[in-house]
Structure 1
Amino acid sequence: MKKTWKDEVEEKSFINGELIETLLEKNNNPSDSEFDLVMEKAKRQERLSIDDVSILLNSDQEDRVNKIFSLAKDIKERVYGNRVVLFAPLYIGNKCTNSCTYCGFKVTNDIMRKSLSLDEVQHEVEALVDEGHKRVIMVYGTHPDYPAEYIKDTVKKAYTVKKGKGEIRRVNINASPMDEEDYKIVKEAGIGTYQIFQETYHEETYKKVHPRGEKSNFKWRLFGLSRAMKAGIDDVGIGALFGLYKWKFEVMGLMQHVEHLESNFGVGPHTISFPRLNEATGSKKDPEFIVGDMELKRIIAILRLAVPYTGLILTARENAELRRECMTLGVSQIDAGTQIELQGYSKKKEEQDLSKEQFKIGDTRSLDEVMGELMSSGFTPSFCTACYRLGRTGEHFMEFSKPGFIHHFCTPNAILTLAEYLEDYAGEETKAVGYSLIFEQIEKSELLPEVKETLKLKLEKVKKGERDLYY
């Protein structure tokens, strides 16, 4: 029988709020030796325990925070190099049955509701391809109009779009929790990561901010990604909406979620996101739980130390200046050229309209502007999707990434996708900066000599019009 959110979830919640509070209290004032032991463990790129994380969370002293920042930068460079993966969110429908207190799409808001047709999906994808995007995350509201078949059809439509030399090669999903059979249907479309944010891991707060609708069932959502992995989806993404409850508790909740996935499925989340509560139509904020910029930076850096091989996503909710400051703290993925109004890409919306959007975004720069700044700062923007298409996902991805072998795939693949962008979409100034960076990276990289030579040959093929070359 098909299960729904109204069915009782028999599993016991793996979020132990009492343990979280106990650890935060026990390690309220960690000694230098306790802090140093955790930092040594992090330097070895071991996955930290929640006990370890509580020590880092309670290390508020400026010198300790700076040490955490420095080590986070070092670990990010060791694991990911200077690469930053780029993507765009694509909102497919904003119909919703929930009444989340913080969301502009909640059912009680009188806003324009729309679900994209397959033709409209094509127009949005064409607009994204015209900008140079290769990766999207498709976002769906919680509503009967968005069953598994609809998600499958819209994803398959996105993959069929070819325009010029461009295409979307990776479609991730942000949608409601499903039962196992529905996840299998969605998986047939060839999706990448399935992303579900718990929003808050504090159950009492969760019930308060989700008073009605499917999302009101804490455990149905909590075990949503477990069902996805049982259904065969390799990569999943977790996240918390910081600003609903105490930020240290939420980080510990994320870590308990990591532990649950690792112990039950042999691999943790592919990505972790940490959006902050932003202005939205009819939204409410509790001033007690507002997360400041420095606290956000600490969240990012501590997560990088805690889960060194997990992707960390910093979204356009944050303004350009803050995103610039956070890039060295462990971030591995960002969105760019972001539009969150339905049909915002095809209509080339320049002004935000909160009556038509889920929340206010902070970074409204174009993809080309973000690309130019990243490269000028020494980062290599990447649209690479090779691992997913070659089966290097889930546990197999960790087999490659943990020993460091991933550099031999990711660095050259990032460079090749960057060259595609430079040839097909970049302005002249961006193109010049990009190729200067590419050749500098090749010379400075630890790539094997034979890989450097084949990479240079592949770059020449890209310049001559060949596309989708990868290792």
Structure 2
Amino acid sequence: MEKRTNHMEYLPDMEQIDSDIKDKVIEAMNAYEPDKYTENDVLQALEHDTKTIEDFKALLSPAALPFLEEIAQQAQAETRKHFGNSINMFTPLYISNYCENYCVYCGFNCHNKIHRAKLNYEEIEKEMQAIAKTGLQEVLLLTGESKKMSDVEYIGEACKIARKYFKVVGLEVYPMNSDEYSYIQKCGADYVTVFQETYNSDKYETLHLAGHKRVFPYRLETQERALMGGMRGVGFAALLGLSDFRKDAFATGIHAYLIQRKYPHAEIAFSCPRLRPIINNDKINPKDVHEPQLLQVICAYRLFMPFASITISTRECQRFRDNIVQIAATKISAGVDVGIGGHSDGEKKGDEQFEISDGRNVKEVYDALCKNGMQPVMSDYIYV
């Protein structure tokens, strides 16, 4: 068998920053024992107006599940206090699905025999025109993680095109160095989201067998490099179900908390993805993460980080999404296509990353929000 690179060693082209956040996150996660928390710990946590790290641990523990109703009500009150009834709407646009990573759970992985494609600038513009026609003013640009096929310049050009049509441009692409983020930010990107997938480095090693993504510490420091490069906001997520989801959710929250304390100006966002079925793989299913557990995680994030934005993706079904935006989520995707192309009239050029669960278009999601007494917001950011 080929010798795999050490997943804890940076490659030569990877920037190493002087930060202790990574070590603090891992140390805190390793010390967290969800099963030791009691009903009493949960009730105490619910009594505190400002939740401590201990409270966050209790709210994520199995002992908190019987109190889900009370936790959800408190999360809802917290959400209303800071966000009112407003829910931000956006759509993801996949511009390339070439990938150099071998992640065993992902449909884009380099060994998966799928149809690969990359949009040229003209096609990107057509897709964006089609999305803008729906009324959306925020777009999230995604690529597979291949620097060769989607280099920094290509992503920068995509951001420049996006800036012509949208008020907010987000990125979910491969991790970069801070100087590259600085360039991308000048091209028009506002925020960067990176899924750590799992914060358990041993488990991480068994899931990421090749490619840049195999290097655990470089990925974990991405949000900090993005902020060093001038990004306005950063998003955090673990792919719930890959490892112990309670410890992963805890690590995600602590990571965001420490970044917010070090960079108080940064906008903080959470995504809460669960594993979804992918092309050519029926073996990996979410471990123990059912809807009550997902609700628990989302509410715990809200109570621990009251000002954070929380996104609910189309990995979840319509019913769950319509409910969670009334409790704790503040951002919802609509009119989603996770293949390459597919928004404009042309046919889809490349295969999807995973199967989506909620296929509603922008108007359908918009109308559902209104019907439930929520206020859809297309953009809460204006450039002057």
**When the two structures are superposed, what TM-score results if normalisation uses the length of structure 2?**
0.90
Alpha-carbon distance, 1:283 to partner: 3.5
Alpha-carbon distance, 1:256 to partner: 2.2
Per-residue CA deviation, residues 149-177 of structure 1 (Å, 9 max, x unaligned), is 111111111223xxxxxx32211111111
Gaps spanning 5+ residues in structure 1: where? 161-166, 391-471
CA distance in 2, matches of 1:195, 1:75: 24
Write out aligned runs for 1:69-468 (5 A): 69-143=72-146, 144-160=148-164, 167-267=165-265, 270-283=268-281, 285-286=283-284, 289-347=287-345, 356-386=351-381, 389=383
Alpha-carbon distance, 1:18 to partner: 5.3
Could you tell me whether the CA contact under 8 Å between 1:5 and 1:214 is conserved in 2?
no
CA distance in 2, matches of 1:359, 1:226: 28
Matched, 1:30 2:38: yes
Could you tell me whether the CA contact under 8 Å between 1:127 and 1:346 is conserved in 2?
yes
Per-residue CA deviation, residues 215-258 of structure 1 (Å, 9 max, x unaligned), is 00000110111111112212111111111011110111112212
CA distance in 2, matches of 1:187, 1:18: 32
Could you tell me whether the CA contact under 8 Å between 1:338 and 1:364 is conserved in 2?
yes
| Two-structure CA RMSD over aligned residues (Å) | 2.4
Gaps spanning 5+ residues in structure 2: where? 1-10
CA distance in 1, matches of 2:243, 2:267: 22
> Which has the larger displacement, 97-106 or 11-20?
11-20
Alpha-carbon distance, 1:331 to partner: 0.4
Which gives a bigger RCO, structure 1 or 2 (Cα 8 Å, sep 6+)? Answer: 2
Task: Provide closer, same or farther for how the CA distance between residues 31 and 232 of structure 1 changes in structure 2, counting only shifts above 3 A.
Answer: same
Alpha-carbon distance, 1:381 to partner: 0.5
The total of aligned residue pairs comes to 373
Task: Provide closer, same or farther for how the CA distance between residues 250 and 187 of structure 1 changes in structure 2, counting only shifts above 3 A.
Answer: same
CA distance in 2, matches of 1:263, 1:69: 26
Alpha-carbon distance, 1:61 to partner: 5.3
CA distance in 2, matches of 1:321, 1:23: 32
Could you tell me whether the CA contact under 8 Å between 1:243 and 1:285 is conserved in 2?
no
Could you tell me whether the CA contact under 8 Å between 2:232 and 2:266 is conserved in 1?
no
Per-residue CA deviation, residues 312-366 of structure 1 (Å, 9 max, x unaligned), is 00001111112122222200001001111111101377xx99x810000000011
Could you tell me whether the CA contact under 8 Å between 1:68 and 1:301 is conserved in 2?
yes
CA distance in 2, matches of 1:293, 1:176: 29
CA distance in 1, matches of 2:331, 2:15: 35
CA distance in 2, matches of 1:302, 1:217: 29
- Which amino acid is 1:362 matched to? S
Could you tell me whether the CA contact under 8 Å between 2:167 and 2:381 is conserved in 1?
no
Alpha-carbon distance, 1:191 to partner: 1.2
- Which amino acid is 2:368 matched to? E
Task: Provide closer, same or farther for how the CA distance between residues 287 and 92 of structure 1 changes in structure 2, counting only shifts above 3 A.
Answer: closer
CA distance in 2, matches of 1:15, 1:124: 42
Alpha-carbon distance, 1:22 to partner: 3.2
CA distance in 1, matches of 2:264, 2:186: 23
Q: Equivalent residue for 1:39?
A: 46
CA distance in 2, matches of 1:87, 1:105: 22
Task: Provide closer, same or farther for how the CA distance between residues 347 and 14 of structure 1 changes in structure 2, counting only shifts above 3 A.
Answer: farther
Q: Equivalent residue for 1:20?
A: 29
Task: Provide closer, same or farther for how the CA distance between residues 263 and 77 of structure 1 changes in structure 2, counting only shifts above 3 A.
Answer: closer
CA distance in 2, matches of 1:124, 1:289: 36
Per-residue CA deviation, residues 393-437 of structure 1 (Å, 9 max, x unaligned), is xxxxxxxxxxxxxxxxxxxxxxxxxxxxxxxxxxxxxxxxxxxxx
Task: Provide closer, same or farther for how the CA distance between residues 306 and 114 of structure 1 changes in structure 2, counting only shifts above 3 A.
Answer: same
Per-residue CA deviation, residues 72-121 of structure 1 (Å, 9 max, x unaligned), is 11111111011110000000111110011111111001222111111001
SS in 1 for 2:171: strand
Higher strand share: 2
Task: Provide closer, same or farther for how the CA distance between residues 121 and 287 of structure 1 changes in structure 2, counting only shifts above 3 A.
Answer: closer
Could you tell me whether the CA contact under 8 Å between 2:235 and 2:268 is conserved in 1?
yes
Alpha-carbon distance, 1:16 to partner: 4.6
Alpha-carbon distance, 1:17 to partner: 4.3
Task: Provide closer, same or farther for how the CA distance between residues 79 and 6 of structure 1 changes in structure 2, counting only shifts above 3 A.
Answer: closer
CA distance in 1, matches of 2:286, 2:340: 33
Task: Provide closer, same or farther for how the CA distance between residues 87 and 230 of structure 1 changes in structure 2, counting only shifts above 3 A.
Answer: same
Alpha-carbon distance, 1:259 to partner: 3.0
Task: Provide closer, same or farther for how the CA distance between residues 237 and 19 of structure 1 changes in structure 2, counting only shifts above 3 A.
Answer: closer
Runs of 4+ off more than 4 Å: 3-12, 15-18, 284-288
Could you tell me whether the CA contact under 8 Å between 2:242 and 2:286 is conserved in 1?
no
Higher helix share: 1
Could you tell me whether the CA contact under 8 Å between 2:232 and 2:267 is conserved in 1?
no
**When the two structures are superposed, what TM-score results if normalisation uses the length of structure 1?**
0.74
Q: Equivalent residue for 1:50?
A: 53
